[in-house]
Structure 1
Amino acid sequence: MTLSRRKFLARSGLLGCSLAASPLITPMSFAAAPWDRRLVVIILRGGMDGLDVLRPYGDPGFAGLRPGLLQAKNADAAGGLDLDGFFAMHPALAPLMPLWQQQELGFVQAVSTPYRDRRSHFDGQDLLEAGTIGLGERRDGWLNRLLQVQTGVVARTAFAIGNGDLRLLQGAAPVSDWSPDADLALSPQAEQLATLMMQEDPLFSAALSEALALSRDAAAAAAAPAFGGQAVDMMADMAAGAMEMPRPAPGKPHVKLASFAAEQLRGDTRIASFSLNGWDTHNRQKASLKPALTRLSDCILTLKQELGETVWDKTAVVAMTEFGRTVRENGTGGTDHGTGGAMVLAGGAIRGGRVYGRWPGLEEAALYNRRDLMPTGDVREATAWIMRGLTATGQRDLETTVFPGLQMGQDPGFLR
């Protein structure tokens, strides 16, 4: 039987998720990127409880709505880390406190997508990633539509990272994909054979070269000490009396995602996106929310440490979720699907050290359907202003193409 190039790729796994890291349709290019600043979008799947992550202890009604979730000690800040005299950050985000103090961490409170009332994870996530109410009209994602209105975009400009599909990067614009399981594991002889088979086919030759390079990069990253050569610089900073940043443990799946994103963003990549699970806290929220927040903290710190100061200063990290949760705790020590929630912002490009958004209050008459935090802002509006500042995309393109039908209003000033 004659073994064709395509059959070889299929049998060796190269035509599956391993080569998904390389776009087979679009030639690779290492030309100058279309803009200089970086954007990382993290989807928090499951409905993050923004009222626990960012506790409005200054609202007189808050403690009475969640007596079981709040800890008795440090009651002045609802058991959290005081930020501004009104909001306190969940204790599990304590490793991020230095970023808040350096004004590289911020929050947007009382925001949501236009999704209402049905409280389905699937529908909520679809709308979050599509960025428009008309799901039947648009099956692409808003990050891909951002790329569609740019010039100079190539496949490596944006990376979708992880094992699952990221709809927000699906669409007509070229995008690269990478999975932490994408290890070709070819012997030197197999690599040589594959190279010989592909040499007369420029399309597959470029794809093979890119996949092999990504696989080697991933293997090297896994074998290297945490944060590579930056450990020396961090030790020097500590010796000089600089604030020590906590170090996430290497080898964890979520840390690998953030580490790969940082590696690409140090080069020509300008957008990276991945998702984190574990935010559906119906039961025992005290125990279940902590590990999810730890993973988010790990990812943000990994990005900061591995991007390096120069690139971090040009980076905005945006973490968003499909909906918030009820303001009242339920009978099993958790919270149910709600509406208004919070966004987490980080990065050297973010004007942090503040909580954005208009607080609606927790009186029963002020709640949405008398059960949820009332949204006073739209996650798409906040994201649109951040993308405008990072990429210089026109407001008309953002309101008509990226987020069809959105009214952006006044610039909240998220970026430095």
Structure 2
Amino acid sequence: MTLSRRAFLTRSALIGCSLAASPVVTPVTFAAAPGDNRLVVIILRGAMDGLAMAQPVGDADWRAVRPGPVPGEAGGPVDLDGRFALHPAMAGLMPLWRAREMSVVHAVSTPYRDKRSHFDGQDLLEAGVADLASGARRDGWLNRLLQHYPGSGTHTAWAIGADPLAVLGGAAPVTRWAPEADLALSPQAIRLAEMVMQDDPAFAAAMARAFRIADGDGDALAAALSPEDMGRMMAEDMAAARGPGETRLAAFVAQQLQGPARIAAFSINGWDTHAAQDKPLSRALGRLSDAIVALKDGLGADVWGRTAVVAMTEFGRTVRINGTGGTDHGTGGAMLLAGGALHGGRVVTDWPGLDEASLYDRRDLMPTRDLRAHAAWLMRGLFGLDVATLERDVFPGLDLGADPGLLL
């Protein structure tokens, strides 16, 4: 008897095949979306201290508000352009900076002001709207992008990790995957899947990739496949898929972007640094740096050259260090951009200054541009969306302003 793919997926439940956690169970389209550019959005939850990440060492007031080592001193930041310096925990990104594959966008924020709630700030960041008043849109701006992206299918966009990622929530289909997903397949089920898919190379390849990513310990694969096949499949990408933390998420993102995927998002926690922030902030910045390097390594030079990565956070932190060695919830912050598609090696900012009269509420970095405008210009350059669509539908009510020239 010959089983169709539909019959196989229907009958698999009867043989104990738990496919619910698999990325391939969601209806799959193998029609590649138009264009070869990719966008990765990393949400930094907890309000990253952008002034610590990209330190304005060229500002005359910097050392008065943030005493500490300067570029060239032990433990000091790494000079970028004489005006700004990168936190030493992110020194691993300097090859990208020198290759003009990394930029910092400084003194930016969402329209959120004064209430300083992480929950509201993150809701507004991911919804991409000006406020959270009754009736405001709550779908995500990346999902609204997909709704204007011709040929978008189930695997065009991926939400990665256990976080709900509201930025991708909405009417357009999105595939979700978390490291905790486990196919729980028996060797017999894998054999049956192979038999069903053997005449459809594209579907068979996707199924094989899902098996080796989601089979947590590899036992089912080892029992079902020949030693030769097991070695070939495992060598391809199992090691990357089983890496730790954000590195594992980034490796999985890279795998999808090598196929039909064009958009992906995941989040990194750990940025709420109210006290003794030096060590936890260094760890968080190191994790972000490692994730970006893993993306570059996993994508390879060709796909990386058509990729932009944007890391953004819900709001900034206070300019001055507080009495417990940390920073409190602030306003203006910074975005980190990476990717071979960038016109990088620049700190993009209309810098407001750090003297007290120039601060927001005399305590925070003054935001001089809406971070949504930078995200919108990235989408316009990568995917060709027109300004009217971006201002009306993707970021309702946004004025894009002048093109900051973020892309090549």
TM-score with structure 1 length normalisation?
Answer: 0.84
Superposition map of 1:12-411 within 5 A: 14-15=19-20, 18-19=21-22, 21-22=23-24, 24=26, 27-67=27-67, 70-71=68-69, 74=72, 79-135=76-132, 136-191=135-190, 213-219=209-215, 251-411=243-403
Q: Deviations over 1:35-78 (max 9, x none)?
A: 210101000111000000000011111111123xx237845x99
* Cα separation, 2, equivalents of 1:289 and 1:249: 26
Contact 2:250 2:291 in 1 (8 A): yes
Contact 1:218 1:260 in 2 (8 A): no
> Percent sequence identity over matched residues?
57
Q: What SS class does the counterpart of residue 164 from structure 2 fall into?
A: coil
* Cα separation, 2, equivalents of 1:249 and 1:93: 23
Contact 1:42 1:318 in 2 (8 A): yes
Contact 2:160 2:265 in 1 (8 A): yes
* Cα separation, 1, equivalents of 2:184 and 2:57: 52
Contact 1:47 1:324 in 2 (8 A): yes
Counterpart of 1:189, as a letter, is Q
* Cα separation, 1, equivalents of 2:151 and 2:274: 45
Q: Deviations over 1:104-146 (max 9, x none)?
A: 0110000000001010110000000000034342121000000
Q: Deviations over 1:257-312 (max 9, x none)?
A: 00000001011110011000111111111111111111111111111111111100
State the Cα distance separating 1:370 from its structure 2 match. 0.5
State the Cα distance separating 1:195 from its structure 2 match. 9.7
State the Cα distance separating 1:31 from its structure 2 match. 1.4
Counterpart of 2:119, as a letter, is F
Q: What SS class does the counterpart of residue 163 from structure 2 fall into?
A: coil
Q: Deviations over 1:159-207 (max 9, x none)?
A: 00001101010111111111111121311224467999x99xxxxxx99
* Cα separation, 2, equivalents of 1:73 and 1:213: 45
State the Cα distance separating 1:355 from its structure 2 match. 0.2
Q: 2:406 aligns with which of 383, 395, 414?
A: 414
Contact 1:57 1:78 in 2 (8 A): no
How much is the aligned-residue C-alpha RMSD, in angstroms?
A: 3.2
State the Cα distance separating 1:215 from its structure 2 match. 3.3
Q: Deviations over 1:4-47 (max 9, x none)?
A: 959949x86543xx14x3464xx311113222101010001110
Contact 2:110 2:124 in 1 (8 A): yes
TM-score with structure 2 length normalisation?
Answer: 0.85
Contact 2:18 2:184 in 1 (8 A): no
CA shift in 2, pair 1:228/1:277, >3 Å: farther
Q: What SS class does the counterpart of residue 160 from structure 1 fall into?
A: strand
State the Cα distance separating 1:151 from its structure 2 match. 1.3
Contact 2:19 2:25 in 1 (8 A): no
2:226 matched residue in structure 1: none
Counterpart of 1:296, as a letter, is L
Counterpart of 1:131, as a letter, is G
Counterpart of 1:158, as a letter, is A
Counterpart of 1:116, as a letter, is R
Q: What SS class does the counterpart of residue 155 from structure 2 fall into?
A: helix
Deviates more, 1:211-220 or 1:82-91: 211-220
Q: What SS class does the counterpart of residue 159 from structure 1 fall into?
A: strand
CA shift in 2, pair 1:96/1:194, >3 Å: closer
Counterpart of 1:71, as a letter, is P
State the Cα distance separating 1:213 from its structure 2 match. 4.4
Contact 1:28 1:156 in 2 (8 A): yes
Provide the aligned length of Structure 1 versus Structure 2: 380
Contact 1:316 1:346 in 2 (8 A): yes
Counterpart of 1:122, as a letter, is F
CA shift in 2, pair 1:371/1:260, >3 Å: same
* Cα separation, 1, equivalents of 2:379 and 2:183: 35
Q: What SS class does the counterpart of residue 272 from structure 1 fall into?
A: strand
Counterpart of 2:326, as a letter, is G
Counterpart of 1:40, as a letter, is V
Q: What SS class does the counterpart of residue 143 from structure 2 fall into?
A: helix
Counterpart of 1:125, as a letter, is Q
* Cα separation, 1, equivalents of 2:173 and 2:105: 31
Contact 2:308 2:338 in 1 (8 A): yes
CA shift in 2, pair 1:312/1:193, >3 Å: closer
